[in-house]
Structure 1
Amino acid sequence: MAREQSYIVGAYEHPTRKAPDKSVVQLHAECAAGALADAGLTKDDVDGYFSAGDERGFRAPPIVDFLNLKVRHCDFTDIGGSAPLQHIAHAAQAIAAGKCNVALVTLAGRPRTALVQPPPDVTEPDLLWEWPLRTSLLDSYALCARRHMHEYGTTSEQLAWIKVAASHHAQHNQYAMLPQVVTTEDVLASPMISEPLHRLDCCVISDGGGAVVVARPEIAKSLKRPRVKVIGAGESIQGQSAGRVELTASAARQSGAIAFAEAGVKPSDIRYASIYDSFTITVLIALEDLGFCKKGEGGRFVADGNLISGIGRLPFNTDGGGLCSNHPAMRGGITKVIEAVRQLRGEAHPAVQVNDCSLALAHGTGWLMGARHSCATLILERE
């Protein structure tokens, strides 16, 4: 990663949360058009394209052709919900290497309208053994939450504070699926879905998507938009280590350490954090592993409004995040970057805008924490 060789110059989040009248590729196209318009560029300026397999059969040639792009570099790496953050890092690396000048990153999906679960591919090494046990994504995260409670005394009320903070921010987002403010009592009173996780500990399911444009410095400085530099990036995958499973730790330990080292900053320097929030426990473990607090102290760190903008010491997910606003394609990484860009530009809602937000972190988690998962971390700076 070259500190000065890539900028995020355009960002767009699709306002749709349910799209029965749109295809996935149409959502990609609308997100791409929105991000390019935000940057002041056109599709003809794009020579690099990055995306992941947002639906079954999604492949590079058809989508590049549908968007009518002429690219000389592309990347369709799929590591789940953290893929968009990895794509931005890969785009920055490609720009630094001279492979492209303007990179477009898109994500889109329609799981709320057409939730289709493909049949399992039992040739995959994990599913061959696990599918008969019907291990689910929700159960895997619930297992992490229960183990964290067992080892560190974390409580359901502490986890609930993460949802409370997200709801305080979502009330100011006109597109949020769940804009109402909730209390810890509301979270604990919601139905138990997989013990110890309640319904309000879980993210929304939404259609929609988003896009980001990354450009080399000469192009970024010729545009009229505020410039956001990518100054650090890390990625990692954590598995079950041949049976030595770590339920209370994540790949964020590696991805965060790499990103902070490249950026030359510390967690205490971060003014705003976008943290992947598929479940409340996802946030708590990520905050610990990224170094915002010590392992086992996440419950105390998130309690009493510490994540609420204007109140707490670390404002997070000021759009409402996946817990309240949007989790497009069940891969919410792109929205984490978009809200971080809004904060750095000073374009977040005035009620949640962080004062003098010059340094932000965006972090994504993909696949199943507690089994095998990915993490990707970006450090972004306002120029």
Structure 2
Amino acid sequence: MTDRLRGNAAIVGVAEAGVGHVGGGVQPLDLMAEATRGALDDAGLRLSDVDALFTASSYYPMGALNVAEYLGIRPAYTDGTNVGGSSFIAHLGHAMAAVEAGRCEVALICYGSTQRSDGGLVTIAEPSPYERDFRPRLPLSAYALAAARHMHEYGTTREQLAGVAVAAREWARLNPAAYARDPLTVADVLESRMISSPLTLLDCCLVTDGAAAVVVTRADRAADSPKPGVFVLGAGEAHWHRTISQMPDLTVTAAADSGARAFAMAGLGPSDMDLLMLYDAFTVNTVLFLEDLGFCAKGEGGPFVESGAIRPGGTLPVNTNGGGLSYGHPGMYGMFLIVEAVRQLRGEAGARQVPGPQTALVHGNGGVLSHQATAVLGTAATL
């Protein structure tokens, strides 16, 4: 039986703003407003059309109130769910349900950060009292534990992890908006400064400023938009732990559940996906999510990357904008996964365009591999 939510909502506008380094004096709300204006222009809509707001922030504990006040809107429906970088993929599913329930007509999902201009990381991650004495460098040390365990259990190599960063950089070199576009080799990644063994500096995402916004509306309104609608075919969420010491298995994430739920709603599977946007805060993320989402068997993520499958010209395009490793990473990256997937499905990606994609999977990660959110997107041909 077809899920009643499948394809009921469409993404009709996307935009980003300030990805990179905007400098002092610019606030996260400034960037969010700029991205919002761009996404509404892209959708052919006005700010007065927005009646629902979905947002999360590392800067503002009551982010939805701050954003609505700054934009001058009075939304009838508000969702400030904050589960880290996966929040916005989760919001996409929540907006889908709100549209179906008649709670809203035009939903705005937005995020912004000036963490590079502010001199470093802005985090909402409180250290666990049971982990504090070990003085972890969070979140990096948590991901390093997962990488070390995967290497131990499955023979994954440092070279294979480095291959994730190299693939991302090759895509970024095709994207004039990417922050890091210099050539990158496996040797460069291995020889960069060790941050938390086994992960070096170039195994880690960028620290940038940036904002992005997405406009979602009813599927039947998409035909009135100036650009082709991209339809939400499926969405799923899952979380199994908060702190890394409580993760049931360091080599298996809750993406195994969130992905299965999204695929079930969409009535599709991994073999039906034309491209993937995976939250690559660290190189190990891509390996784990390729496995847990069903694109290769557990333990085979490293060899899959090493085969060249995820690089330009490979069999499975992954993170075609350059990802968090090379495009940009303003603290909570999930919004940018959606933006790139929409552009690919519209055929707007320029030199990095994948030929004729009809489907895309976007997958967000929050906390320390804690919360996972997956969405399956498709063109009108998939309805």
| Normalised-by-shorter TM-score class | over 0.9
Structure 2, unpaired ranges of 5+ = none
Q: Are 1:32 and 2:36 matched, yes or no?
A: yes
Q: 1:63-82, aligned counterparts within 5 Å? A: 63-82=67-86
CA contact (8 A) 1:344 1:357 kept: yes
- Could you tell me which residue of structure 2 aligns to residue 269 of structure 1? 272
Any idea what SS the aligned residue of 2:319 has?
coil
Structure 1, unpaired ranges of 5+ = none
**How big is the shift at 1:181?**
2.4
**How big is the shift at 1:189?**
1.6
Give 2:375's match in structure 1, choosing from 361, 374, 378: 378
CA contact (8 A) 1:54 1:107 kept: no
Deviations 1:325-366 (A, max 9, x none): 1112x110001111100110011123x211120000000101
**How big is the shift at 1:118?**
7.4
Deviations 1:51-86 (A, max 9, x none): 012314443323212101131101000000000111
Letter in 2 for 1:41: L
Q: Are 1:133 and 2:134 matched, yes or no?
A: yes
Letter in 2 for 1:357: P
Give 1:295's match in structure 2, choosing from 293, 298, 321: 298
**Number of positions where the alignment pairs a residue of Structure 1 with one of Structure 2:** 374
Bigger shift: residues 182-191 or 42-51: 182-191
Structure 2 distance, partners of 1:62, 1:37, is 22
Runs of 4+ with deviation above 4 angstroms: 115-121, 240-244
Residue 309 to residue 117, structure 1, CA distance change in 2 (3 Å): closer
Residue 120 to residue 334, structure 1, CA distance change in 2 (3 Å): closer
CA contact (8 A) 2:62 2:80 kept: no
TM-score, scaled relative to structure 2: 0.93
Residue 275 to residue 243, structure 1, CA distance change in 2 (3 Å): closer
**How big is the shift at 1:244?**
6.6
Q: 1:168-179, aligned counterparts within 5 Å? A: 168-179=170-181
Deviations 1:225-264 (A, max 9, x none): 1110000000111217995731011110010000001101
- Could you tell me which residue of structure 2 aligns to residue 331 of structure 1? 332
TM-score, scaled relative to structure 1: 0.93
Bigger shift: residues 99-108 or 210-219: 210-219
Give 1:44's match in structure 2, choosing from 41, 48, 51: 48
Structure 1 distance, partners of 2:83, 2:161, is 26
Any idea what SS the aligned residue of 1:127 has?
coil
- Could you tell me which residue of structure 2 aligns to residue 163 of structure 1? 165
Bigger shift: residues 50-59 or 247-256: 50-59
Letter in 2 for 1:346: G
Using the aligned pairs only, state the percent identity.
43
Structure 1 distance, partners of 2:58, 2:51, is 21
